[in-house]
Structure 1
Amino acid sequence: MPPIGDIELMDMHAHPHGEGDYIILSVQPRRITAFLEKRAEMEAAARSVSGLASMLAHEIKNPLSGIRGAAQLMARAQDSKNVRLTELIVKEVDRIKGLVDELETFSSPHAHTNEAVNIHEVLDHVLSVAVAGFAAKCSFRPRFDPSLPPVFGNYDRLVQVFLNLVKNAVEAAGPTADITITTAYKHGIWLTSRSGERIRLPVEVTVQDNGPGIPTHLRGHLFDPFVSGKEGGTGLGLALVARYVSDMEGTVTCDNHPQGGAHFKVQLALEEDMRRDEN
């Protein structure tokens, strides 16, 4: 038996042609080594965020509280010009505190329960939120496989994962972005869980945009904390995605699509498989 790094996976896609008289099959090989390497990068990013957050959150919040209080006291004794400066200090302190609050999300214990989740209920909710707010002018192309069984995960965190991915796609492609979200069942993806047991990740959710794609200098680092290709971005959104997906024993990867734009793939386990492993 060859080592796992030499195993080659084949993606097979069926496309109806014409009036449905015949079907075109496309077979695309892919190396499992690259897939495993990207998963390792994603998990390493999740661990680095957790360690960084637990170290910084408490130490930063204490001096911030003192700075904010001092600025408010100064504002009471200043003229209107200097009051604006103290208000600026308070505003910036609050902005930093918001960043620290995001960091604490990563260092919090894994208190969320993973269970059976209908992935399409998650995606429908995410699209409803997006269309009602930041993606009101965008075009969405949902291509869902309605036969998919429940995945292993947490509903709220899955909503956060795909909301971040959709928002990232919209910001990359612009306010009139054209985004395709696909769900599919994929055979042949088996990975080792934290407990050492092999699990399969057959449910694949892809978020593809029509933006400029991932810059070369950011490839391999998108899931690292504080790495962002957007002006003013915190670089925590995709790190949060990596952390949550890893907690659900899944994996997330990203690449540029041959036809343009970026596409993110989230691989998730089946709830029935995880329940069977526990019994």
Structure 2
Amino acid sequence: MSAAISAPDTLPSRSVLQALPQPIIVLDEQHKIQFVNYAAEAFFGASLSVLTRQKLDDLIAFGSPIISLVETVVQRRAPMTEYRVRIGSSRFGDERIADVFASPLSDVDGRVALLIQERTMADKIDRQMVSRGAARSVTGLAAMLAHEIKNPLSGIRGAAQLLEQTVSSDEVPLARLIREETDRIVGLIDRVEVFGDERPMEREPINIHVVLDRVKLLARNGVARGITFFEEYDPSLPPVFGNRDQLIQVFLNLVKNAAEALERTPKPEIRLSTAFRPGIRISVAGVAERISLPLEIVIEDNGPGVSPDTLPFLFDPFVTTKTNGSGLGLALVAKIVGDHGGVIDCDSRPGRTRFRILLPVASGAFQQSSYEVSTK
């Protein structure tokens, strides 16, 4: 906010504030909440009638810089901004990072309006762009080394096979170990080479629920045997323009990761959900038009969660929490999602891990207006 605003009591002002996608809170001189818009109700998970019975101090964590921001705005009678504030509240389980804009109301002393711009999605999209840059680096490395490495490995494997036939029975396990490890390295190189595959893929309008049903069928008869599945599907979801096999690969990989994370969970559950959200529009350098991503697909499990130290780098190549993991599975998932024009993020805490994928609708399908997050 660059200037003081009027009180929200008049109908035009109230309509404008209600239309904004960012949470708006109006406080009196005692920090008591006088008004919140619809976005603020959704942000804090409470209705207008509940929130207006509270003070700001009751709503956010003790010692929050937002309190001092409000006090300074009142003293100076001038708008101020606090960037990257951690907002904690008993109404949502984890902290959220946001920019908070505060402005005094022009007609009443002591009253302040707060606008909250959550940074989560913008930061995650920025991180996606960094991850894709890292993936492109892996692509260059794969193209340069794959041929040079595979040729000698082929010779080593052939020699190991000959040794298995000629050495004594006591030495056969060692020869077999050489062959198996050679096969493992070749398999790893093959997976890295996937990042360099820039061939155009065949696409068509895909019903994402058909893909998820296929993934569930495969998982229930394999890695996720014994795990309870729940589905919450939006039956009116429009199709996505994509490649069926690659989308199955994406969601099967995510379900497989969830199943492996649930190995020690007493009552393991995986929840698959879809929804048509207002979504976001992202602005990407080099692309003239902003991209709308209203299709939301979520894979959620009730496992132990992802380490906070690992979470920001989860989609980078060679980052893994598994003892024998290659660290390429989620990097490949992010690449495929990116190739489909979408983004993926992960929100995790003990007892709940959510992988959320946002995708564009197929051309010609109904698209809903959405708010914008710039990544330029």
TM norm structure 1 = 0.83
Cα distance in structure 1, aligned partners of 2:193 and 2:157: 20
Q: Name the counterpart of 1:253.
A: 345
Q: Which has the higher contact order (CA 8 A, sep 6+)?
A: 1
- Mapped pair 1:232 → 2:321: no
Q: Name the counterpart of 2:300.
A: 208
Q: Which runs of 5+ in 1 are unaligned?
A: 16-25
- Mapped pair 1:269 → 2:344: no
Cα distance in structure 1, aligned partners of 2:298 and 2:341: 17
Number of aligned residues? 260
Q: 42-51 vs 137-146, which deviates more?
A: 42-51
Following superposition, the deviation at residue 147 of structure 1 comes to: 0.6
Q: Name the counterpart of 1:181.
A: 272
Percent identical residues: 46
Residues 162-217 of structure 1: per-residue CA shift (max 9 Å, x gap): 00011111111227521111101111401236643212000011111111111022
Quickly say closer, same or farther: Cα 1:275–1:85, change in 2 above 3 A.
Answer: farther
Following TM superposition, where does structure 1 have runs of at least 4 consecutive aligned residues deviating by more than 6 angstroms? 26-29
Q: Is the 8 A contact 2:347 2:354 kept in 1?
A: yes
Paired residues for 1:107-122 under 5 Å = 107-122=196-211
Aligned residue type for 1:236: L
Following superposition, the deviation at residue 96 of structure 1 comes to: 1.2
- Mapped pair 1:124 → 2:213: yes
Q: Name the counterpart of 1:167.
A: 256
Cα distance in structure 2, aligned partners of 1:35 and 1:79: 57
Q: Which runs of 5+ in 2 are unaligned?
A: 3-20, 24-38, 46-90, 97-115, 368-376
Aligned residue type for 1:178: E
| Rg comparison, structure with higher value | 2
Q: 1:217 aligns with which of 309, 318, 330?
A: 309
Following superposition, the deviation at residue 8 of structure 1 comes to: 4.0
Paired residues for 1:141-152 under 5 Å = 141-152=230-241
Paired residues for 1:151-162 under 5 Å = 151-162=240-251
Structure with more of its chain in helix, by fraction: 1
Aligned residue type for 2:220: V
Q: 30-39 vs 146-155, which deviates more?
A: 30-39
Residues 8-37 of structure 1: per-residue CA shift (max 9 Å, x gap): 485959x9xxxxxxxxxx999733432432
